[in-house]
Amino acid sequence: MLKPRLTVRTRRRRTNVLWLVGIFSCLVVIGMENILSSTFVLDGGSTVYGYLLKQLGFLVMGLLASAGVWHLGYPWLRRWCGTLVLISALLLFAVKAIGITVNGAQRWLGYGAVSFQPSEFAKLAAIICTAAALTFFWECHGDQQTVVERFTKKWRIEHLAPSLLAKKKLFKSYGLLCLLPALFLSAIILIQPDAGTAIVLFVPSAFMLFCSGIPLYDRHWSYKKIGLWTLAAIVIGVLAFYFFGHDYQKDRIRAWIYPEDYKKTIGYQITQSLIAIGSGGVWGQGMGTGISKFSYLPEAHTDFAYAILCQEWGFLGGVLVLFLFFALIYFGVQAAGSCQDRFGMFLAMGITFSLGGQGLVNMAMVTDLFPVVGVPLPFISYGGSSLILNLISASLLLRVSYDNYMAAAKAQDLSAQQARQALRPPFMGH
């Protein structure tokens, strides 16, 4: 059967789907190879494939969960966004109360050999809730009366409608209200403490709000006033960090600013990371032959997996991974921009910023362009919770992109069978 001729619009959206599939597939394969290479020396070499087999098990669970999410689609998530945030908050509070401590950090829930990191679930919950809030505003065309009436009717609190309509300033702050769920979850994570994950959770929601066109506060401020408020926020943030920040967080900042002074103490990890990257050269030392994983570089299979990859794959391998994350951001934004459903658009935008942003932050951290934070490299670093939730997020982004393609195919009067046939790569045959 010959594939149907596609219009420019349909072909562009098909390309978007295929690129995203290829990007996620490459990242997973690279991650599995890197885990095998960086973990066979652990446990005294007695379990050469131990970590790899665990990660493959997580991969299977993630793919099964992703398949379920794919078939369910994404619109139903909007109805359950509040429940997802509530569950995330309860799990995060449970971590603080009865969580498991690993490497000095209390960030996991579990029993025995089974553990789960709720903060990974919270990242996706925050994106879903923010997307739902932004969609709700634009569906009401930004009209206060419509927003209040629909909100009070949905939650069966119609008697509060008159008082809410009278609060003009509250409505003008709708942009800030959209950020409250993400801010709430970030605050809980911050007290674990896990500042890196808190930032990674909050920033995608902030980017979503920025791209939505909804102001933080519906008020015309001069550039001078905006500058003063920005400066005040920076000063308050610095002072808060100075007085309330943990010692290990301050050590990381000092090691980042003065790496030479702390290269044998608190800056040892980043020093070894740079040595590993530099020793890889252009072509790398070869897969599995890097020496930094032999107790030189701590957390070589988790947060600093990128350093081992650069050592063994060389500069070209590091650039390849960097390219994949930039491509993910590009095609993710394309998928969001092509989506006719507002919720799908904001959801795709948030997932793109989250996955792409985490990748760029991790690589910047490993190369000493950013202070050390506990942010893994998506799909590549070892970790079950991270891999499963990343695969679910990838499935949602792919579903948005696929629905965009099917909508274009339908507009072209292609049947569902013809559209699926056109989507098949040439090497898959007929």
Query: Residue 335 pLDDT > 90, yes or no?
Result: yes
Mean pLDDT, residues 29-47 taken together: 76
Q: What is the mean pLDDT of residues 58-71?
A: 95
Bridge partners (DSSP) listed for residue 100 = 108
Question: Residue ranges of the domains in the chain?
Answer: 26-72+248-430, 100-214
Summarised one tens digit per residue, pLDDT across range 178-188 is 999 999 999 99
Percent of the chain whose predicted confidence (pLDDT) is above 70: 92
Which pLDDT belongs to residue 425?
A: 67
How far apart CA 56 and CA 39 sit, in angstroms, is 14
Q: Which of 82, 81, 87, 92 is nearest to 187 (CA)?
A: 92
pLDDT in tens, 344-369: 999 999 999 999 999 999 999 999 88
What's the mean per-residue pLDDT of the chain?
A: 86
Question: Among candidates 356, 359, 353, 349, which has minimal Cα distance to 400?
Answer: 349
196-220 mean pLDDT: 85
* Residue 31 confidence (pLDDT): 93
- Confidence at residue 192, expressed as pLDDT on a 0 to 100 scale: 77
Q: Enumerate the β-bridge partners of residue 101.
A: 106
Residues whose CB falls within 8 Å of the CB of residue 387, separated by 6 or more in sequence, listed in order: 31, 55, 58, 59, 62, 379
Count the neighbouring beta carbons within 10 Å of the beta carbon of residue 156: 7
What Å distances lie between residue 294 and 40, 42, 141, 274, 291, CA to CA?
10, 8, 59, 15, 6
Taking the C-alpha atoms of residue 386 and residue 362, their distance in angstroms, rounded to an integer, is 14
| Secondary structure in 3-state letters for 122-159 | HHHHHHHHHHHHHHHHHHCCCCHHHHHHHHHHHCCCHH
- Its pTM stands at 0.91
Lowest mean pLDDT among 227-231, 247-251, 410-414: 247-251
pLDDT digits (tens, 9 = 90+) for 127-176: 999 999 999 998 887 778 888 888 888 777 887 788 878 877 777 788 88
Cβ proximity of 371 and 252 under 8 Å: yes
